[in-house]
Structure 1
Amino acid sequence: MTLSTAFTEMFAVQHPIASAPMGGSAGGALAAAVSRGGGLGLVGGGLGDREWVAREAALAAATAGASWGIGFISWSVDLGTVELALEHQPVAVMFSFGDPSAFTARVRESGASLILQVTDLEEARRAVDLGADVIVAQGTESGGHGARQGRSTLPFVPLVADLAGPVPVLAAGGIGDGRGVAAALALGAAGALVGTRFQATAESLAAPVVTRALVDGHGQDTERGNLLDVARGSAWPAHYTARTLGHPYLDRWRGREAELAADADALRAYADGVASGELPPVPVWAGEGVDLIDDLPSASDLVPVLAEQAESALTHALRNR
């Protein structure tokens, strides 16, 4: 069985798998490895640091040997940074979290495909209206930031697929192995956007303490909220919360976000704890599929493994109808 979909045809990739553009960990090496493995690797443009974007986009362009792209956070990036990324000729540019309309025309002019991630049906309708070439339907099982009042992946993806019509949809959120990719296809998606699983790979820029935590982590230990954004003084809009593994400040301040925000001593203690190494510099972003991670392979090897698992799962399902 060959998993050929509208997504694989659009980007001339072998497998219906893309890596999420995770800020801080999805650099050029990871994106290139995913692309060499037959998927679509996406550099994580994060909050739009121009030096970082230029360096990692150049690395992906030089080493991917195939289609690669880049993703940005809509509320924090500026047009100049997007222009800088386009100089390296990505085949796709993805925008998440916020209104991407200031960038869509320029991306379209460049010839790159426009990928828009959505967290609810209102955002999905907006993505269709903006002419997205691909829509990513992100369920709340996902690691990192997502919608506070979003929907879980299983019911959300079919709704977005129906709404999107001919526009290919990628499922995201809680997909940790090939069975999740198979499920995405069964739900009407043209592929899967995978985050946490690719964060735990040899090419990820995540610190060893983070990748170790992912290997040892469990889905029931993740939680979604904005407390850690408050603690570290992040500018993330409150309606986009984040799913992370455990953290000392979660246990200490859970349910008291407003109190924490008003406590200058507690905020200073957080910064001091990070500076001293007592606290991790960033939370450990992790989706509910983290239990399925038990190794740190090369991303270029992981992509075909996920595809093979997906094919096996679909074949098994058909045999047992």
Structure 2
Amino acid sequence: MALSTAFTKMFNVRHPIALAPMGGSAGGALTAAVSRGGGLGLLGSGDGDPDWLAREVPIVVEGTDRPWGIGFLAWAVDVAVVERALEYNPRAVMLSFGDPGPFAERVRRAGAALIVQVTDLEEARRAVDAGADVIVAQGTEGGGHGARHGRSTLPFVPVVVDLVAPVPVLAAGGIADGRGVAAALALGAAGALVGTRFQATAEALVAPSTTEAIIEGRGQDTERSSVLDIARGSRWPSKYTARTLGHPYLDRWRGRETELAADPRARKDYRDGVAQGRIPPLPVWAGEGVDLIDDAPSAAGLVHALAVQAEEALARASGR
């Protein structure tokens, strides 16, 4: 029996599971596979690079006839970028980490659903004011970027659910198996947005070393920090830090972020280390649920497996 929620009905998908639009790794093949499997695939466009979109969107279109969408970093794009992406007719546009207001009307006029990710209650109120069709409540356990002073998924999600009702909410942050999906539903969410678990799939746009690191990783080895953004010269707003697995620069500069930001030689050393192979080319973004990942299956099959696990967990909880 499929789990029917406001989210599955809105997008006409079988399972209350969405792919986190992870920049660089949620490419066309992964997006299509998640949608083909009965979830909502969201392409990780990040800053909306037109060449990247021109390469990856056709892969989605050729790979599935099911609903799919595109995700952007609100702080990194302008209206023209979103308008260009809407020409591909995505079913949804997801905006994260910034004000969705400037983009909302344009998304609405195109007939796409507006999904807004929030990391605190102020952002949740702003998402409602912008007319979000779906709100993603992201807990601090999630991999990749999130709020520097965020709240854990378990207490944060139901507060957002109550605040934004009747807008459907997806839970995000540390969800890596069907039990996590079931927990999201029990908290009042209409589904779950899953990231790290989908990085370790056959279709993810990641290096084999990244897949291996995620499979071997442990939750206690993840760390939320701004060190790697500073070292890489990233423009990420200081409000948001990133959760990753261990990294040489974390050990070297932990607690010395101000010093790192003021030292151009240190940042050059980082670039040289990447070029020489002494430092991994990219951090391994991973959430605290990484312990639950021990294989790299097809993403379509994974969606089904997560849904079955969620149904079983809910049945156990109800005593059936």
State whether TM-score is above 0.5: yes
- Equivalent residue, structure 2, for 1:4: 4
Matched, 1:202 2:179: no
Percent identity reads 72
- Equivalent residue, structure 2, for 1:149: 149
Matched, 1:160 2:140: no
Residue 87 of structure 1: how far off its partner (Å)? 1.2
- Equivalent residue, structure 1, for 2:77: 77
Residue 46 of structure 1: how far off its partner (Å)? 1.2
Give CA-to-partner distance per residue, 1:147-169, whole Å, 9 cap, x none: 01111000000000001111100
**Amino acid aligned to 2:156:** F
Residue 262 of structure 1: how far off its partner (Å)? 1.3
TM (norm. structure 1) is 0.98
Residue 215 of structure 1: how far off its partner (Å)? 0.3
Matches within 5 A, 1:211-222: 211-222=211-222
Aligned length: 320
- Equivalent residue, structure 2, for 1:140: 140
Residue 225 of structure 1: how far off its partner (Å)? 1.0
**Amino acid aligned to 1:163:** L
- Equivalent residue, structure 2, for 1:314: 314
Q: Distance in 2 between matches of 1:2 and 1:260?
A: 50
Q: Distance in 1 between matches of 2:98 and 2:242?
A: 15
3-state SS of paired residue (2:115): strand
Judge which range, 57-66 or 20-29, deviates more.
57-66
8 Å contact 1:57–1:85 — kept in the other structure? no
Give CA-to-partner distance per residue, 1:272-311, whole Å, 9 cap, x none: 0011111111110000000000000000100000000000
- Equivalent residue, structure 1, for 2:255: 255
Matched, 1:43 2:8: no
Q: Which residues of structure 2 form unaligned runs of 5+? A: none
- Equivalent residue, structure 1, for 2:172: 172
Q: Distance in 1 between matches of 2:144 and 2:59?
A: 24
Give CA-to-partner distance per residue, 1:180-216, whole Å, 9 cap, x none: 0000000000000000000110000011111110000
Q: Distance in 1 between matches of 2:67 and 2:19?
A: 12
Matches within 5 A, 1:229-244: 229-244=229-244
Q: Distance in 1 between matches of 2:169 and 2:58?
A: 28
Residue 174 of structure 1: how far off its partner (Å)? 0.1
Give CA-to-partner distance per residue, 1:92-136, whole Å, 9 cap, x none: 000000112111111000000000000000000111111100000
Q: Distance in 2 between matches of 1:119 and 1:237?
A: 14
- Equivalent residue, structure 2, for 1:21: 21
Residue 54 of structure 1: how far off its partner (Å)? 2.4
Q: Which residues of structure 1 form unaligned runs of 5+? A: none
Residue 73 of structure 1: how far off its partner (Å)? 0.1
3-state SS of paired residue (1:45): strand
Residue 230 of structure 1: how far off its partner (Å)? 0.5
Judge which range, 120-129 or 45-54, deviates more.
45-54
**Amino acid aligned to 2:126:** R
Q: Distance in 1 between matches of 2:302 and 2:266?
A: 41
TM (norm. structure 2) is 0.99
3-state SS of paired residue (2:201): coil
8 Å contact 1:48–1:78 — kept in the other structure? no
3-state SS of paired residue (1:251): helix
3-state SS of paired residue (1:10): helix
8 Å contact 1:73–1:95 — kept in the other structure? yes
Cα RMSD of the aligned pairs, angstroms, is 0.9
8 Å contact 1:143–1:288 — kept in the other structure? yes
Q: Distance in 2 between matches of 1:33 and 1:8?
A: 17
3-state SS of paired residue (1:95): strand
Give CA-to-partner distance per residue, 1:33-52, whole Å, 9 cap, x none: 00000000000011221110
Q: Distance in 2 between matches of 1:64 and 1:146?
A: 30
Moved over 6 A (4+): none
**Amino acid aligned to 1:304:** H
**Amino acid aligned to 1:208:** P
Judge which range, 79-88 or 156-165, deviates more.
79-88
3-state SS of paired residue (1:48): coil
**Amino acid aligned to 1:23:** G
Matched, 1:193 2:230: no
